[in-house]
A and B are shown apart, each in its own frame.
Chain A
Amino acid sequence: MLHIVNKSPFEKNSLQSCLSCAKEGSTILLIEDGVYGVLKNSAVSDAITGAMKGMTICALEADVKARGIADKVIDGVKLVDYNGFVDLTCDNEKLQSWL
């Protein structure tokens, strides 16, 4: 299953809600302000690192670069472009946007 989160974890709790519901084997894609979730050494970075044990964490590269945080991304987070975003929606039968 693919979870799409587009809110900053420092503004809304949608990332936390997503992490509490997502099952092992899921993929979480962070887009728009959601990409702030993959910042190193933040209040949520431990939650992301923990989730990476059982899930794949991705972030939309264009949105990461637009916010100037490309060199501060947690190791192991997979950066994808829009083609990669489309591929993720094809590879996962179920999608959930955490609006």
Chain B
Amino acid sequence: MKFTIQVSEGPYTHQASDSAYQFTRAALEKGHEIFRVFFYHDGVNNATRLTTPPQDDRNVVNRWSELAAEHNLDMVVCVAAAQRRGIADADEAKRNGKDADNLAPGFRISGLGQLIEGAIQSERLVVFGD
């Protein structure tokens, strides 16, 4: 079955990102297809590569990046939500006159249309948030 996953909450605040990750991993292991993972609202905070949790804690951001690399996942960050929260790739940083970018590997910045397309193209849209 084809899934799109929506993550609307950041890491380390509530459990949503962890639940979404565990669900996505389980779905992939069962042979399902993940069409897209869409990070919306505070969920865009899952995409900063500057996250540095203590060594004995899970690294939520790296975990997503690694899963994306392993399974060639399309992980999309909502551009409007990202701009508000200071999440930018090199192009966005340049466009907005910022001196740094922070998007983690495996994520890309795009618009809300990508969520709608995910919902249309997938058989299931599973929403995780707070």
Give the interface of A toward B (CB within 8 A): 4, 6, 31-33, 62-63, 81-83, 85-86, 89-90, 95, 97, 99
> In whole Å, how far is B16's beta carbon from the nearest beta carbon of chain A?
7
Query: In whole angstroms, how far apart are the Cα atoms of A62 and B126 in the complex?
Result: 19
> In whole Å, how far is B127's beta carbon from the nearest beta carbon of chain A?
4
B residues near A89, Cβ cutoff 8 Å: 3, 124, 126
Closest A residue, CB atoms, query B15: A32
**CB of B32 closer than 8 Å to a CB of A:** yes
Take A97-B128, A97-B129 as given contacts and tell me if A86 and B27 are in contact as well, using a CB distance cutoff of 8 Å: yes
Asked whether B129 lies within 8 Å of A31 as measured between CB atoms, the reply is no
Take A6-B16, A31-B19 as given contacts and tell me if A85 and B26 are in contact as well, using a CB distance cutoff of 8 Å: yes
Question: Which range contains the number of B residues in contact with the other chain?
Answer: 20 to 34
Majority secondary structure of chain A interface residues (helix, strand, loop or mixed): helix
Map CB proximity to A onto B22-46 as digits: 1 under 8 Å, 0 otherwise: 1101110110100000000000000
Partner of A6, one of B1, B15, B25: B15
B residues near A63, Cβ cutoff 8 Å: 15
Give the interface of B toward A (CB within 8 A): 1, 3, 8, 14-16, 19, 22-23, 25-27, 29-30, 32, 124-130
Query: In whole angstroms, how far apart are the Cα atoms of A81 and B3 in the complex?
Result: 18
Partner of A83, one of B15, B16, B26: B26
> In whole Å, how far is B42's beta carbon from the nearest beta carbon of chain A?
12
Closest B residue, CB atoms, query A7: B130
B residues near A6, Cβ cutoff 8 Å: 15-16, 19, 128, 130
Closest 4 CB pairs of A and B: A82-B26, A97-B127, A32-B15, A99-B129
> In whole Å, how far is A91's beta carbon from the nearest beta carbon of chain B?
10
Asked whether B126 lies within 8 Å of A32 as measured between CB atoms, the reply is no
B residues near A81, Cβ cutoff 8 Å: 26
Partner of B130, one of A4, A86, A90, A99: A99
Take A6-B15, A95-B124, A97-B127 as given contacts and tell me if A86 and B30 are in contact as well, using a CB distance cutoff of 8 Å: yes
Asked whether A99 lies within 8 Å of B8 as measured between CB atoms, the reply is yes
